[in-house]
Amino acid sequence: MDKIKELYKNNTNIFNLLIIALVIVIGFLIFKDNYNGILTDKGRELLFPEAIANGKVLYKDILCIYFPFAFQINALFFKIFSPHLNVLIGLGLINTFVMGGLLYYIAKEFLSKNISLFFVVIYVMASAFNGTLFNSILPYSTSFTYGITAFVAGVLCAVKYVKSENARYIRFAYLAGGFAFACKSEFALLFLVLALSSLFLKPQNIKNNILNLLLYAVFPCLSCGILLYQGVTIEHFMSALDFMHRFFTTDAMIYHVTRTGALPSWEHLFMYLPAFFRLFIFITVTYFLYRITRHNKLFMIIAAFGCVYIANFSLIDTHTLMLPILMSLFVIIRFKELLNNKPLLVLTIASLFLNIRMFWALNLNVYGMLTAHILILSLLILMFTYMRDFKGLSKDDFTDFITYLMFVYLLFYIAFDVVQTTKNTTPLKTPKGTIYLPKAKSEALDFTLKYIKQYTKPEQKILVLPEGMAINFFSDRQLDYSLPMIDRLYHDAMNEDEIIEKLKQADYELILVVKGYGLTNFGKPYLYSEDNGIMEYIKDNYFADYKTEYTDGKNTNTMTFYIKPYSKEKS
């Protein structure tokens, strides 16, 4: 035993990384294929790379509102291994391994190795296996997940640079920053952190800064170069940018980004007030139970399970709502002190930039689940760094309580993952991957795939409204990529007559109209109602052959099959 302890002591980082990897592998095997539906936002990640691998080109053949690099990476792996859900899950798993290692190495720059390990294990259980849309392994938005990992890699290198002045670190930071930007435009904010590091905190000469800029440009230029080689012209780029502008300025999008915290809203702030009260109760009760049980480990563990129940009552997804604002105020107030701790200054500002999309309401129930980790890590470091002894609560007591609180959060997310898994009991098996879903949803989608196979041919096109490209992927049916989905955002960014004209040109054999299934209407009435012009066109040219329906709690989820009149006769 002593030899093992000595071996661990001498190789702590290696052992801790192995522990993180083991947790990820075991968790993956337990929670694998819990996909939480296939309609909401996920089909794009499957279908676009497949189309690219088969010769179609982003912005030229494919209407796309996102930066191209993640799609190009996935298309490359589809080309190597063939289009399959497991290819993207495998890439997501690798991405999670990398993120876990990066977070560990950032944490240990400021905290003990044990606390760093503990934090990363909590991150893995919260983000990698939560069974919701915002999952770091399942392909909801690989532009987001790949970009976040590159962003965090850049932050780690920038922290190491201002701590050591080793120029290699800042060069890798700029390279990683360019990778993040090539994946998603908002990650360009990392460039400001890198510029702060190499121009002001630890200035480099002009020659080295020019080299840094060139390294930053590597991946964006590679991605654009691929597009130019494939035949994308300036006109294609301008057309794509014009559509992006219209898309991101619609009332529906403004509603969406306000709800998810990108824009301030007094209405939503007042709506969140009860959440702050619940958080206060949770922290107070947890601290009380910690104080009365801290001298007995068994009682502490029992009390922790009670705190998990209270955490669920406290709406744990809202615990971070005001964190970006509070952290920003702290940086402003203590800026002079932070200047004396340059690595922590870099980390804190970068963590705020990563969460700028949710600045006014960082909710873990949406994008925050994928970005909050580094901001929470910054908060922990700030608390451990600036915490002072208070009457009745010493710095050591505070450290022990925060560690106990972390243990409660770990138990909560383990329980949450298990509960999510128990809801997804029925496999939806397809040649391109297996997905576990709630029984009623799986049966409805299984019927849909069988219907498509029976009444359409592989070369024929089908459309799912408002969105559902994953059905095209799993059924091997074609799609008009010039308008791959028509949810409220796409609808409001285009003229309805233009949409109808595209439907005519596409000549769809089957159109599926979906209501429910977790799809959102972005604050507006359901789009495909009786008085909608698109629905009038569909009803004039197709007939409603079948309708699936199932209830999910209080919600009724339907899918109506509109097929060409002759299709069933020919079949």
Structure tokens of 268? Answer: 């939503």
Which among 161, 209, 396, 411 has a CA at the least distance from the CA of 309? 411
Contact 439, 423 (CB under 8 A): no
Looking at residue 476, its amino acid is D
pTM for the model stands at 0.95
Structure tokens of 307? Answer: 């705190």
pLDDT at 287: 94
Contact 321, 275 (CB under 8 A): yes
Which among 109, 127, 36 has a CA at the least distance from the CA of 372? 127
Can you tell me the distance from the alpha carbon of 350 to that of 173, in angstroms, rounded to the nearest whole number? 12
pLDDT at 391: 58
pLDDT at 33: 74
> For tokens 């990476």, what's the residue?
73
Structure tokens of 125? Answer: 């259980």
Q: Residues near 267 by Cβ (< 8 Å), separated by ≥ 6?
A: none
Can you tell me the distance from the alpha carbon of 3 to that of 174, in angstroms, rounded to the nearest whole number? 42
Cross-strand pairs, 511: 463, 562
User: Distance from first CA to last CA of the chain, Å, rounded?
Assistant: 71
Structure tokens of 229? Answer: 């080689």
Q: Residues near 370 by Cβ (< 8 Å), separated by ≥ 6?
A: 127, 134, 136, 144, 145, 148
Which among 93, 102, 118 has a CA at the least distance from the CA of 19? 118
Which among 272, 269, 254 has a CA at the least distance from the CA of 522? 254
pLDDT at 84: 96
Quickly list DSSP for 392-441: TB-HHHHHHHHHHHHHHHHHHHHHHHHHHHHH--EEEEETTEEEEE-HHH
Ramachandran category for residue 111: left, alpha or beta (phi over 0 → left; psi -120 to 50 → alpha) = beta
Cα dist from 473 to 346, 352, 452, 560, whole Å: 42, 37, 12, 19
pLDDT at 267: 76
> For tokens 């606390």, what's the residue?
115
Structure tokens of 64? Answer: 């796309």
Q: Residues near 2 by Cβ (< 8 Å), separated by ≥ 6?
A: none
Structure tokens of 46? Answer: 């499957």
The pair phi, psi for residue 137, each rounded to 5°, is: -100, -45
Which among 336, 345, 375 has a CA at the least distance from the CA of 192? 345
Looking at residue 356, its amino acid is I
Which among 126, 61, 103, 4 has a CA at the least distance from the CA of 408? 126
Contact 140, 469 (CB under 8 A): no
pLDDT at 207: 95
- Per domain, the residue ranges of the chain are 434-570
Quickly list DSSP for 268-327: HHHHHHHHHHHHHHHHHHHHHHHHHHTT-HHHHHHHHHHHHHHHHHTTGGGTTTTHHHHH
Which among 219, 216, 202 has a CA at the least distance from the CA of 159? 202
Contact 385, 341 (CB under 8 A): yes
- Angle (CA) 440-444-448 rounded to 5° is 165
The per-residue pLDDT string of the chain (571 residues; one tens digit each, 9 = 90 and over) reads 777 778 777 889 999 999 999 999 999 998 887 767 778 877 899 999 999 999 999 999 999 999 999 999 999 999 999 999 999 999 999 999 999 999 999 999 999 999 999 999 999 999 988 877 788 888 888 999 999 999 999 999 999 999 998 999 999 999 999 999 999 999 999 999 999 999 999 999 999 999 999 999 999 999 999 999 999 999 999 999 999 999 999 999 999 999 889 998 887 777 788 888 999 999 999 999 999 999 999 999 999 999 999 998 898 999 999 999 999 999 999 898 899 999 999 999 999 999 999 999 999 988 899 999 999 999 999 988 887 656 566 778 888 999 999 999 999 999 999 988 888 889 999 999 998 888 999 999 999 999 999 999 999 999 999 999 999 999 999 999 999 999 999 999 998 999 999 999 999 999 999 999 988 899 898 999 877 899 999 999 999 999 999 998 778 999 999 999 865 554 4
How many CA atoms within 13 Å lie on the side-chain side of 451? 21
- Using omega within 30 degrees of 0 as the cis cutoff, is the peptide bond preceding 525 cis? no
| Cβ neighbour number for residue 302 with a 10 Å cutoff | 12
